[in-house]
Structure 1
Amino acid sequence: MFGKISKDMEVKASIREAWEVYCSPKVGMIIRAELGHLSSVAILEGDGSSVGTVVEIKPCPGVSTFLPYKERFTMIDHEKKMREVEMIEGWYIDLGFTAFRIRLELIDKEEDACIARLTIEYEASEEVVNAYGSIVTMYPFMSATEIINRYIENNKT
């Protein structure tokens, strides 16, 4: 079975300013600095800003509602202002999902604003979806996006 959920958020900065941050390795540092429930966000492979990069996200035990996981950057399109990561280990994969992708797309709105569209796509057997489909949530990813957007808005050039 295939599932997809998506949500848009406004960023009060130009698409250029937003993309500059979203495609940089400092995204993990920004998120970890603001979210007290993350014990680490570590780049395990790659440079943190190109396809093939592997990042490990570990929540603080007993504090967070999500499980540790690793993600690989599978697509970064500088023209379309789009990046995609795929969960490769942990969390949803350990629950039996065969694929779990998170895509961020920036959409030009006006000179000093753009839209950050976050999309989750997942694949799993009907049995896994029946057991765990209700826990697929945008919440942790939207929280991270809100933090990054706030950083972008507060650090405009």
Structure 2
Amino acid sequence: MVTGTIVDEYKSPITIERLWRAAIIDAHNLMPKLLPQIISSIEILEGDGGVGTITKFNFTDAVEKYRYVKDRVEAMDHENHVFKYSIVEGGILGVKVNSYVAEVSFTSASDGGCLAKLKIEYESLGESLLTEEEAADIKSGILAMVKAVDGYLLGNFNAYA
């Protein structure tokens, strides 16, 4: 087993508070509406959305490799806009990695938007890191959700205001 880190960032024109509320706090309601071709539903299995909450993302047939993924909220810092979660079942867990913890953070930008940063730390199943293609797939999946929220918020100025 080896440990690896995946990082990425995305510049959003949306204010930090609106993006935080839509992409993090209300993701379980919003994502299936914005990405119905990928996410069929999101269920809160345990908890109230805060630390310890377990959520199940159910994928459509468009996601050929995985049917679902269960995440547990590890940290939810509303003041500093930091959200950290781990995969507890499904997805790449047990297939490609032994463990997977992701952190999404938002910082305000001088132009009124914000910068979304992604950091994923994982432990591989074997003696090699995830391939560049596998890492790119993970990043694109997570950032696709943020970009979908961006598009929605740009077209719905009063949403999450």
Shorter-chain-normalised TM-score: which range?
0.7 to 0.9
TM-score (norm 1): 0.84
| Structure 2 stretches lacking a partner, 5+ long | none
Distance 1:56 1:78, change over 3 A: same
> Per-residue deviation at 1:34?
1.8
User: Which residue pairs with 1:70 in the alignment?
Assistant: 70
Distance 1:37 1:21, change over 3 A: closer
1:129-140 aligned at under 5 Å gives the runs: 129=128, 133-134=130-131, 135-136=134-135, 137-140=138-141
1:46-57 aligned at under 5 Å gives the runs: 46-48=47-49, 50-57=50-57
Measured in 2, the distance between the counterparts of 1:151 and 1:5 equals: 27
- Of the structure 1 ranges 14-23 and 135-144, higher mean CA displacement relative to structure 2 is found in 14-23
> Per-residue deviation at 1:110?
1.9
Find out whether 1:32 has 2:32 as its counterpart. Answer: yes
User: Which residue pairs with 2:149 in the alignment?
Assistant: 148
Contact 1:59 1:66 in 2 (8 A): no
1:3-152 aligned at under 5 Å gives the runs: 3-24=4-25, 26-35=26-35, 36-48=37-49, 50-61=50-61, 63-67=62-66, 68-95=68-95, 97-110=97-110, 112-127=112-127, 129=128, 133-134=130-131, 135-136=134-135, 137-152=138-153
| Structure 1 stretches lacking a partner, 5+ long | none
Amino acid at match of 1:102: A
User: How many residue pairs align between the two structures?
Assistant: 151
Measured in 1, the distance between the counterparts of 2:139 and 2:5 equals: 10
Measured in 2, the distance between the counterparts of 1:23 and 1:64 equals: 22
Deviations along 1:34-69, one digit per CA (max 9) or x if unpaired, are: 221222211111123x111111111123x2144111
Measured in 1, the distance between the counterparts of 2:156 and 2:19 equals: 10
Quote the RMSD (CA, aligned, Å): 1.9
